[in-house]
Amino acid sequence: MIKPLPIITYPNPILKQKSQPVAKIDAEIKTLVEQMFSTMYHQGGIGLAAVQVGVLKRIIVCDLTYEINNHHHHHHHENCHHDLEISNQTQQCFINPVIIKSSSETSVCKEGCLSFPDIRADVTRPKTVVISYLNLDGEQQQVELTDLASTCIQHEIDHLNGIVFVDYLSKLKRDILLKKILKNGKF
């Protein structure tokens, strides 16, 4: 497996910047997508936006079903990155994704984020969305996503627009959670 990239974490200001559309899907973009999947698996996430690895491009990867079979990976040992055995993968890559339709019905999900270590909060979002995007072959696609897949893609598209999940919380709740991250020295 490709070596994972470091995750950008709060309070890094890049997380509040808007990502730029991908003009051309070339070898560099395809390599970045592979690195993003590797990073997401190693971090135990289900979705990752390119900005979270320091690249301001409108690229998202998701995998809601994967399982890690043998986790002989130790966070303090740099050379153990290649021994994750992952099964049941359903890799999805969304390039230049746009939400073209959202349901009026909403759902609440306890969201977490690799860029905000160790905090989770309830966020209300549309239950179902229709997304238009390019696949890795540059083909225009459209997909309807619901429940967890819908929450995941909306969370990641927000990243592309410089919005993070804690922005949906009340100022009081957001301040408490962000202070917790800073106090834990998780940045």
The CA distance from 15 to 114, in Å, is 12
DSSP string, 152-173: HHHHHHHHHTT--GGGGS-HHH
Angle at 112 between CA 162 and CA 129, to 5 degrees: 65
Is residue 118 classed as helix, strand or coil in its secondary structure?
Answer: strand
Active-site residue list: 156
Token output for 55: 């690249």
